[in-house]
Structure 1
Amino acid sequence: MPLAPNRDVFITCAVTGAGDTTGRSPKVPVTPEQIAAAAVEAAKAGAAIAHIHVREPGTGKPARDPALYREVVERVRDSGVDVVLNLTAGMGGDLVLGSAEAPLPLSDAGTDLAGATERLAHVAELLPEICTLDCGTMNFGEGDYVMTNTPAMLRAMAGRIQALGVRPEIEVFDTGHLLLAKWLAGQGLLDDPVMVQLCMGIPWGAPDDIGTLMALVNNLPEGWIFSAFSIGRNQLPYAAQAVLAGGNIRVGLEDNLWLGKGQLASNGELVERAVTIAVAMGARVLGPSEVRERLRLTRHW
């Protein structure tokens, strides 16, 4: 695809994620009320899209209970603040081996494997404009956890998402994941424009060096729309890198807790900084209505 800096940029804010971050910052939202408030805060700061995970309110652990998603979505929609909702569909693909010497039976601590229909139950009920589709399998961390998304699972989930009239955001964590995305598109399971999130710097996926990013960008088919992000201290530099590469921006407490050295961030502050970076680079930041038009989203409510 031709490369040029993006002059019309949209910002996604990933407000909480599923990682073990709640003990590292009191600003990470946990309850549905807090997660909805974070999405509204991000929208007011300039994010057109809010990417939503939910957590168990009492523990902060990752969850996929449709009732928790329902409360978040209803609170955001009732707020009067316009933002495109992007619900994760990544939960339910978690596999944790027993140990290096005894991989079976699987560990009860962290293993959560569900079928395609169950993984998309909250999407089918709430019909967000976007949901994620993690387009591959990879190791995470230094233990025995594997993010598991087989080709058969991806094909079933992509077909279900398409039938619901929801736009999938294809999460690409490594180069082979982009091949899986092209495979799904070749079977007619991804409608145009295909929307891709390049997830960089996550062990043990694609590193966040510029060469690897551009290798992915250079292999995106014509007409595909992408965002890119990195984690931790490289999140905000990647806001600029994504724009230079012709893409869009993702920030948020799912990926990074810090605004600066020793300064814990809020989601709104990270979005504000991303807006400043984009505008200083000569880009215009798009609002939700413009993003709906650009991505041809279907609003179900």
Structure 2
Amino acid sequence: MSEYLPITPAEIRAQALEAAQAGAAILHLHARDPSDGRPTPKPEVFREFVPDIARETDAVINISTGGSTRMSLDERLAYARFARPEMCSLNMGSMNFSLHPIAEKMTSWRFDWEKEYVEGMEDMIFRNTFRDIKNILTEFRDHGTRFEFECYDVGHLYNLAHFVDAGLIKPPFFIQSVFGILGGIGADPENLSVMRAAADRLFGRENYHFSILGAGRHQMPLVTMGTILGGNVRVGLEDSVYLSKGVKAKSNAEQVRKIRRILEELSFEIASPAEARQMLGLKGRDAVSF
């Protein structure tokens, strides 16, 4: 849907560094096959851009353990197991994660694989069972890696609470509340209060950091509202390809600069990478294996 999406390692590196320079404290990274843009879990592709990013910025590097509904769990974890990063994303449950309605709106496709991939999501499940999550938490605890807990619905907060009660997750933890993905909670503004209140009730506000991700056209309004409710923000081309109505974002950094401008106008301060590490209790860049 956007010619500005970074695909090659060089493009991902350049956009990540620009986003960090614009003020992003955490860089949430996926990899793509440079030949056709297909999502890939291959460590050799990650190695073509992650070490370079780490050398050129002190932003926290966050490696996805999501990747794709088409990947096995071992594939999704392959690079994170090698890199032992400060932070990984972790989807807190299995779900009918789908973008298939987008296919009905598309009139042309950039690559041959895309149409079948997007349409096929209607019959695909993103799998993260309780055992999957337990195994990931147990394995990465030994590496000192902490998580961006992606919660796509209220039930995911209760799944998170289950693992907190089991002693596998210690505060302060980082909840990324995701709104507007088909299969998860909708992007209605009222749902921000629902998720925030549930998290407060389950964990106590002093034990977690709340963040907001709004998909598509909901990105900027929802994350702005979430900040007013005491949350942090995540923006980027993974979640929305637009900067404003009908205007495509030419980079992830454009979205970072826009939300930074909005929040600073509202008298909020933008955390540095060092401040983010302190807030989230991260192990530090010197303890990773990029």
Q: TM-score with structure 2 length normalisation? A: 0.85
Give the equivalent residue in structure 2 for 1:88: 64
Which residue identity does 1:31 align to in structure 2? T
CA distances 1:81-100 after superposition (whole Å, capped 9, x unpaired) = 221111101136x2xxxxxx
Contact 1:131 1:167 in 2 (8 A): yes
The match for 1:288 is: 273
How far apart are residue 244 of structure 1 and its match? Answer: 1.2
CA distance in 2, matches of 1:261, 1:210: 18
Which residue of structure 1 aligns with residue 39 of structure 2? 62
- For the pair 1:230 / 2:187, whether they are aligned, the reply is no
Matching residue of 1:135: 92
* Kept after mapping to 2: 8 A contact 1:171/1:196: yes
Q: Deviations over 1:256-286 (max 9, x none)?
A: 1111233211111100001011111111001
Shift of 1:124: 2.3
SS at match of 1:54: coil
Say if 2:217 and 2:245, in contact at 8 Å, map to a contact too: no
Q: Give the SS at the match of 2:185.
A: coil
- The share of aligned pairs that are identical, in percent, is 35
CA contact (8 A) 2:84 2:140 kept: no
Structure with the larger RCO, 1 or 2 (CA within 8 Å, 6+ apart): 1
Contact 1:40–1:76 (8 Å) recurs in 2:
yes
Separation in structure 1 between the aligned mates of residue 61 and residue 72 of structure 2, nearest angstrom: 25
User: What's the CA shift for 1:226?
Assistant: 1.3
Shift of 1:162: 1.3
Secondary structure of 1:138's partner? coil
Matching residue of 2:235: 251
| Mapping 1:127-206, distance limit 5 Å | 127-141=84-98, 142=100, 143-206=122-185
One-letter amino acid of the structure 2 residue matched with residue 151 of structure 1: F
Q: Does the Cα contact within 8 Å between 1:226 and 1:248 map onto a contact in 2?
A: yes
Q: Deviation of residue 127 (structure 1)?
A: 2.0
Q: Distance in 2 between matches of 1:227 and 1:144?
A: 29
1:78 pairs, out of 25, 47, 55, with 55
C-alpha distance in 1 between matches for 2:239 and 2:38:
16
Q: Which has the higher strand share?
A: 1
Q: For 2:246 and 2:76, how far apart are their aligned partners in 1?
A: 37
1:138 positional shift: 1.1
Q: Which has the higher helix share?
A: 2
Contact 1:52–1:87 (CA under 8 A) maintained in structure 2: yes
8 A contact 1:239–1:278 mirrored in 2: no
2:92 and 2:189 mapped to 1: Cα distance?
21
- Number of the residue aligned with 1:264: 248
Shift in Å, 1:211: 2.1
Cα distance, 1:140 vs structure 2: 2.5
Give secondary structure in 1 for the equivalent of 2:47.
helix
Ranges in structure 2 where 5+ consecutive residues have no aligned partner:
101-121
Partner SS state of residue 3, structure 2: coil
Distance change >3 Å, CA 25–CA 91, structure 1 → 2? closer
Kept in 2: contact 1:46–1:272 (CA 8 A): yes
5 Å-filtered alignment, 1:16-27, equals: 24-27=1-4
Give the TM-score taking structure 1 as reference length.
0.82
Residue 114 of structure 1 is aligned with which of 73, 83, 103? 73
Task: Describe the superposition over 1:150-177 as per-residue Cα deviations: whole angstroms up to 9, x where unpaired.
Answer: 1111111111121110111111011111
How many residues are treated as equivalent by the alignment?
Answer: 258
